Structure 1
């Protein structure tokens, strides 16, 4: 069995060709798609977070709303940029959203990706400490947040509080037991996958990573997963980690699918510069008839190594069409691969 869910970037644009004309459309349709995915039997609804962009941004109101409308599906992010996050506020907001969902939150976090604006985290009130990079700052925020999620008190109580306090040091409330073990790190390299394992976080790997060996993307990603598990075994985290990968997968099962996607496939990995220093490899898309997809996906070594697959969806095509795409994967592809 493999958990299968969707990953939505939540794009919106005031274009006559888009079904998501506004931020409100993107948010409300994200909730509706999670509800539809749960009804279809999908296992996860995950949402991308991008600041200063016409996409989903502030994640916790959306996660809480999805949690209130659903009852079974896992609810996550892929990923929250920790350069922008106050660790205490993160723990408090995540705890509330997790309790609303009944313990189904699966927050994915990372050090961030190229942005819409220059040093956008500065506008949120954050700056690297002396000698730090912005990536160092993201990891520092993460380590603090993980400690807070452990539930241990750290704040000295006021001797004359407005309301009675429990004994000892205080922690942010609400606290959600178990959430600490459901934090995922979006790793873009083998070294950051090992760092995630050392910190006791699950591994989330997308369709993009550093090109470290020149091998095909799925092979490099499988090696990244192996590095994660090897590092995990060197620590005593007292729980079994999970690994997810994301893919662009379109099963062609209707004339509408053919009109939208046939002939638009990117059947090869792409290599390019992510910034001035980082050579990155972008994983291929899988677009085709179900029988063809079954053959191609069976050869994907990283998918075989992961317990969770997140399928990126073209959210601007609307809830009904994206539910159709998910249903095609769940019924026409996954069973043939032994995932269902």
Structure 2
């Protein structure tokens, strides 16, 4: 059994061919897609966060709006770039959105992805400390955020407060119990996956990974997941961790699908990104029976409990509902995911 969610990058473009021509279009259609996905039986609605881009950013208003319009579906991110975040303000926003959603947030955080601008986090007021890289800064912000989510008091109350305080040191409010265990780290390497396990975070592994062995993408990703699980056990955490992998998967069930995605089987691609040699996982697009046979061979999917399907959000809500329904109806049962 797998949880099946969708992952939207939230692209928008003024092009007449785009179904999302403005940021408002993306935000409102994201809410509509999450509502429709819940009705289909999809398990999760996840959204990428990119700054300085014509894509989704500032995730908490969107997550809160979806939480208010739905009742069951998990609502998450994949991922929030912690180099840009004030952990204290983020803890407030996350607590509020999680309470609105009734405890359904699944927040993916990380060091972030390649940027639209040079050192964009500096415009948000953040700089690495002496001897610290921007990745170190992101992990420092993440650790502070995780500590705040525990709900322990740390701030000394004013002796003459405007409103009465509870006894003892004060914590960030609103606090949402249990959110700390629903934080995921987006990892592109084996080392950061092991680090995430030690911190007690769930693991998100996307369609890009550091090329650490020259093996096919899904084989390297499976090894990353197994290393994460071993580190989790060694750390002595009590609960069972969760692991998600992202995939571009399209069942070709009509002429429209074939026109958009029926260009034949893709292979893994290797390139350099942020001075790192990376392997990019292939896309899957085929008739349902063929698709099921291809996905059966994906080792990383077997290791994960959650599969996030990347959706072409600019093709509109109706078509993306069709994409999700095709996977749920024609592919997931054949693979035992449902």
Q: Provide the TM-score with structure 2 as the length reference.
A: 0.99
SS of corresponding position for 2:235: coil
Tell me which residue corresponds to 2:272. 273
- Is 1:96 the counterpart of 2:88? The answer is no
- Is 1:293 the counterpart of 2:283? The answer is no
**1:75-113: per-residue Cα shift (whole Å, max 9, x none)?**
000000000001111111000000000000000000011
Tell me which residue corresponds to 2:329. 331
1:234, CA displacement in angstroms? 1.3
Aligned-pair Cα RMSD in Å: 0.7
Q: Distance in 1 between matches of 2:138 and 2:284?
A: 33
1:2, CA displacement in angstroms? 0.4
Q: Distance in 2 between matches of 1:17 and 1:89?
A: 38
1:266, CA displacement in angstroms? 5.3
1:60, CA displacement in angstroms? 0.3
Tell me which residue corresponds to 1:12. 12
Q: Distance in 1 between matches of 2:194 and 2:260?
A: 39
**1:241-275: per-residue Cα shift (whole Å, max 9, x none)?**
10000000010011111111111x45200000012
Q: Distance in 2 between matches of 1:187 and 1:57?
A: 20
- Is 1:258 the counterpart of 2:258? The answer is yes
Q: Distance in 2 between matches of 1:236 and 1:156?
A: 33
SS of corresponding position for 1:4: strand
1:236, CA displacement in angstroms? 2.8
Q: Distance in 1 between matches of 2:274 and 2:172?
A: 38
Q: Distance in 2 between matches of 1:262 and 1:219?
A: 25
Tell me which residue corresponds to 1:316. 314
SS of corresponding position for 1:233: helix
Q: Distance in 1 between matches of 2:200 and 2:237?
A: 6
The more displaced of 252-261 and 186-195 is 252-261
1:129, CA displacement in angstroms? 0.4
Tell me which residue corresponds to 2:115. 115
**1:113-163: per-residue Cα shift (whole Å, max 9, x none)?**
110000000000000001000000000000010000001011100010000
Q: Gapped runs of 5+ residues in structure 2?
A: none
SS of corresponding position for 2:13: coil
**Structural mapping, 1:1-340, within 5 Å:** 1-263=1-263, 265=264, 267-276=266-275, 278-340=276-338
Q: Distance in 2 between matches of 1:335 and 1:172?
A: 44
Q: Distance in 2 between matches of 1:300 and 1:261?
A: 20
Q: Distance in 2 between matches of 1:332 and 1:29?
A: 25
SS of corresponding position for 1:128: coil
Q: Gapped runs of 5+ residues in structure 1?
A: none
SS of corresponding position for 1:174: coil
Q: Distance in 1 between matches of 2:154 and 2:238?
A: 23
Q: Distance in 2 between matches of 1:4 and 1:14?
A: 31
Q: Distance in 2 between matches of 1:19 and 1:173?
A: 38
Q: Distance in 1 between matches of 2:274 and 2:304?
A: 28
Q: Distance in 2 between matches of 1:338 and 1:322?
A: 22
SS of corresponding position for 1:68: helix
